[in-house]
Amino acid sequence: MNVLIINAGSSSLKYQMFDMKTEEVVAKGICERIGIDGHLKHTPISNGKPVFDEDITLPTHSEAITAVLDKLTGAEHGVVASLSEIGAVGHRVLHGGQSFSESVLIDDAVIKAINDNIPLGPLHNPANLMGINACLSAMPGVPQVAVFDTAFHQTMPEKAFIYAIPYSYYEKYNVRRYGFHGTSHRYVSAEAVKMLGGKAEGTRVITCHLGNGSSIAAVRDGKCVDTSMGMTPLEGLPMGTRSGSIDPAIIEFVANHEGLTREEVFDVLNKKSGVLGISGVSSDFRDIESAAADPSHPLSRRSQLALDVFRYNVAKYIGSYMAALGGADAIVFTAGLGENSAELREAVTDQLRGLGVTIDRDKNKARGKLLDITGEGSTVRVFIIPTNEELVIARDTKSIVEA
């Protein structure tokens, strides 16, 4: 069965198609600038046909889906002969609120629930729904599955997800911690369990998804018991452009002193903060690492500071999750930065030496591949595990459709 994976954003739509017999990606691509002008890059992988990379008019997600399906089935760039060869579609959906603790087959009730959760995911859920609706009309009768970023974290106990604000806000508006990157935390924690011997019961794993967006999860017996992102992805670690956790009083202070509205302050916290805000250089960790390493760079010191703040916070979260779990059997590094930055892994684990964590510095030089980098005598195993959220979505989609 071929399964098409859709990740719809407000002006973009990423896709991958998997052949589930082999779990290989047969084609992938991205539509960008939807609703502005439009661009499609489509890459056939299974048959060596040429890449399509051109501006095309994409007024809505509906035209974007039509263009994607045309490319997947067309003579020049296609990977299948017709739409009938696409057995199911899996959608990445940001916010399932308290409604979803696992992936589900999409029907009217599921669409209504995603819609009802828009107040919790105001930027993403409407875009995810546009992707779902576009597929439902372009491919009637093809089963569609929703896979939620929040679902894996629904096993958190109340003490981990309740904020210390009036309880009535939880009762009235569902204000609580939800957590994100759940598909990634689920995948890498399951891979870690395999590396620990295969039985989830009794295992304590801390998964660090460190990329442009970053979050950490504490996973006991294969189930999430705590995570760093909150009601929205703004909480927790400092990120590429997001502040992560700050004193909430800063919001009013900055609004007053800078003459900004509430919305403008939140824009600053989401888009101009994090390591970009501290370094003044970039939200991309590669740029920051090279500016920090170049003493002649005018923002070298601030770049090093941004890296130090980020790494210090990662180590603090890991330490606090060791407390939450009563120790740890494994720490996992994943996503763009976690998989590729040896410097980050070294700095974070150096900070954790007092808790018994060491790594093998030679093995740590590896990038982007599954590896056990545990140091001699370390009481906690340390793994690099490349994440694969799309494959998890494809596997969930296949198993739900075939059930």
Q: Which is nearer to ligand AMP, 194 or 365 (by Cβ)?
A: 365
Q: Of all helices (H) and strands (E), which one includes residue 112?
A: helix 108-116
- As measured in angstroms, the least distance from the Cβ of 334 to ligand AMP is 8
Active site residue 149: yes
Q: In this complex, which beta carbon is closest to ligand AMP, that of residue 285 or of residue 333?
A: 285
The residue number whose beta carbon is nearest to ligand AMP equals 336
Regarding beta strands 204-210 and 330-334, do their DSSP bridges make them parallel or antiparallel, or are they unpaired?
parallel
Q: Name the residues that contact ligand AMP, by CB under 6 A.
A: 211-212, 240, 284-286, 289, 335-337, 340-341
Q: How far apart are the first and last CA of the chain?
A: 14
Shortest gap between Cβ of 340 and ligand AMP (angstroms)?
3
Q: Which is nearer to ligand AMP, 96 or 240 (CB)?
A: 240
CB 25 within 8 A of CB 5: no
The answer to whether the CB of 303 falls within 8 A of the CB of 281 is yes
| Active-site residue identified among 37, 116, 149, 294 | 149
CB of 197 to ligand AMP, least distance (A): 28
The residue (of 154 and 279) whose beta carbon lies closer to ligand AMP is 279
Residue pair 67/373 in contact (Cβ under 8 Å)? The answer is: no
User: 57 exposed, middle or buried (CB, 10 Å; 0-12, 13-18, 19+)?
Assistant: exposed
Cα–Cα distance, 364 to 376 (Å, whole number): 13
Report d(CA 70, CA 52) in Å as an integer. 12
CB of 288 to ligand AMP, least distance (A): 8
DSSP bridge pairs for 4? 17, 89
Whose Cβ is closer to ligand AMP: residue 358's or residue 387's? 387
- Distance, C-alpha 378 to centroid of its chain: 29
Rounded to whole angstroms, the Cα distance separating 261 from 273 reads 17
- In terms of C-beta density within 10 A (0-12 exposed, 13-18 middle, 19 or more buried), how is residue 17 classed? buried
Determine the Cα angle at 117 with ends 113 and 122, to 5°: 140
Of 72 and 335, the one with the shorter C-beta distance to ligand AMP is 335
Compute and round to an integer the Cα radius of gyration of the chain.
22
Q: Which sequence positions are flagged as catalytic?
A: 149
